[in-house]
Structure 1
Amino acid sequence: MDGMTTAGVRATARIAARLDGRGTTVLPVLESDGPLALRRTRGRGDEARVMLVGAMSGPLGGDRFAVEAGVGACARLHLGSAAATIALPGQSKGEARYDVRIDVAAGGELRWLPEQLISAQGSDLCVSTRVDLAAGARLVFREEQVLGRAGEEPGRLSSRLTVRLDGRTLLDQEVACGPGAPGGWDGPAVLGGHRALGQLVVVRPEFGERTPESRVLGESAALTPLVGPAVLVTALAPDALRLRRVLDEALAALDG
């Protein structure tokens, strides 16, 4: 573990997936750190599957968490989590950070499908995710955020997601919600009173020839082609269960 200071816990978990000589994805690096525990589980076919298991509560105020994942050429990695991540207030009044850095080489594939991030009342969390894909890489990336637990107001949550393919930016967007966020975040032009928001980014080389068309998905979700072989699904819902249902249906349609 990188250490605990008066400002909070610092921890970085690292994963590296590579293809071995038999055509199977292996994990030469699977490095847990403090509250970020990684466990290999049974995968399908030639993929490697990893679960992120929270060994402690958090992130709390002042914590600095990071996950770094690298997928080698033609390797396949599926990452999930055992439970939701809950951002909580801590003894330190400082902002907590959760940084994700992902690199996928040509022909590699990453399915990043963790459980929801819940912003509890009184928390202050900044999430930053950067995904760098080589030409020919594949990605399924799901992000779900829930503003407050049942019956409580949310904490402050800011989140930035950047996806780059072969050095070109496919997506770079930022959202901020909760106390202290720019005005109007909960208004009709943004969340419209919903408390669960999510997005799904799918990058596939075959989308370069035939990209799915823009369309509305249900009452508060939409599929939008990106500039490149990729699509973005954005969704709002009153709760985490209905948000997951919308995103699962969208992914099943894209997979099918």
Structure 2
Amino acid sequence: MESQINSQAEQTYGYGSDRSWLARLQLKLEADSSGHTRLKNLEFEGPLRIQRPFYPEGGVCHLYLLHPPGGIVSGDKLSISAFGTSGSQSLLTTPSAGKIYGRDSDGVVQGQSVRLHVENGAECEWLPQETIVYRGANAVLDTQVELTGSARFIGWDLVCLGRPAAGEVFDSGRLDQHIRVWRDGRLQLNERLQLEGNSALRTSRAGLNNNNVFGTLLAVGEQWNSALLDALRSRLAAPDFTVTERLGVLLVRYLGDDMNRCRDGMWQAWGLIRPELMARPACIPRIWLT
């Protein structure tokens, strides 16, 4: 009888292995007759919102995605989707680092799913601030980008394992990170990291080599010229940073122990890539500097 009461209490108050709290945000962006991109549709459920659109560089729509709880706990499932119609120009970012806290005693999965669809002639930038994965988390980060025709895209995913400044090492827990990019139904990039905190992948030289910070910037457009690749390699010092290109996907990677260095390098890379891909200089979102 006591176990039955406890089971009922778990269901009532949201505890237990089947807990699931969904937050959902869906956006649609369209270019108007003047060339300005407008937010034409917004649907949300749970604690996911946006601030009003900003236009610091003319017609490009800057959107700040807000998650008021400030972190993801066991059972949280954040779902973000954005649809950029032909001719739209958008930049999506976040006001602060995301946090994925340690899992509960049931080990319930927690995480975020991002779906970005960019139509022919549209441009989209997905530039969230970093994600901090706490010791003991059971985290899933899944990002999918679907491009059609001449769509252009720049995005990044920056991750810090544990809290090195506080002496917290990611020596327990799990991270499942998946990044996929399609163009016209053809898979151009498919990367997956399945990391256990106590695994050799985190500690070995063939893996993360005990580093806590890693990041990937990807840019997808037309063929890249060698001068840009040379400029990126000259600006971003090896071995922390690497630059590669394949099937039209340009990749800038960081592996090290300094999120400030990772972030600064990605900003510099973005500053070189954006004028080449989107014919306009990088415009730092104001929220990054507050």
Of residues 226, 235, 243, the one that matches 2:246 is 226
| Residue of structure 2 equivalent to 1:119 | 133
Identify the residue that residue 67 of structure 2 maps to in structure 1: 54
Aligned residue among 17, 22, 25 for 2:37:
25
Counterpart mapping for 1:127-138 below 5 A: 127-138=141-152
Mark the runs of 5 or more structure 2 residues left unpaired by the alignment: 1-12, 276-290
* Match in the other structure for 2:169: 153
Query: Could you say which residue in structure 2 is the equivalent of 1:192?
Result: 209
Matched, 1:140 2:140: no
Provide closer, same or farther for how the CA distance between residues 112 and 174 of structure 1 changes in structure 2, counting only shifts above 3 A. Answer: same
**Change beyond 3 A, Cα 1:180–1:65:** farther
* Whole-Å separation in 1 of the counterparts to 2:53 and 2:112: 24
Write out aligned runs for 1:73-84 (5 A).
Answer: 73-84=86-97
Identify unmatched segments of 5+ residues in structure 1.
Answer: none
Verify the 8 A CA contact 2:202 2:210 in the aligned structure 1: no
Pairs aligned (count): 249
Task: Tell me the distance in 2 between the aligned counterparts of 1:57 and 1:232.
Answer: 29
Which 10-residue stretch deviates more, 29-38 or 236-245? Answer: 29-38
Return the index of the structure with the highest Cα Rg.
Answer: 2
Residue aligning to 1:241: 260
Q: Is the Cα contact below 8 Å between 1:32 and 1:38 reproduced in 2?
A: no
**RMSD (Å) for aligned C-alpha atoms:** 2.0
TM-score by length of 2: 0.80
Find the residue that maps to 2:269 and give its secondary structure: helix
Whether contact under 8 Å (1:131, 1:164) holds in the other structure is: yes
- 2-structure distance, mates of 1:26, 1:135: 21
8 Å contact from structure 1 (residues 64, 97) kept in 2: yes
Task: Name the one with the larger helix percent.
Answer: 2
State the secondary structure of the residue aligned to 1:61.
Answer: coil
Structure-2 change in CA distance of 1:9 and 1:193 (3 Å)? same
What amino acid sits opposite 2:33 in the alignment? G
Q: Is the 8 A contact 1:31 1:38 kept in 2?
A: no
Which residue identity lines up with residue 21 of structure 2 in the other structure?
Answer: V
Q: How much has 1:245 moved relative to structure 2? A: 1.4
Deviations, residues 167-219 of structure 1 (Å, cap 9, x unaligned): 211110011234265x32331112122111000011123x26x3644775313
- Rounded Cα–Cα distance in structure 2 between residues aligned with 1:178 and 1:122: 10
The two structures have a TM-score, normalised by structure 1, of 0.90
2:51 is matched with which residue?
39
2: CA distance, partners of 1:255 / 1:67:
24
Q: Indicate which of 269, 273, 276 corresponds to 1:254.
A: 273
Structure 1 stretches of at least 4 aligned residues deviating more than 6 Å after TM superposition:
none
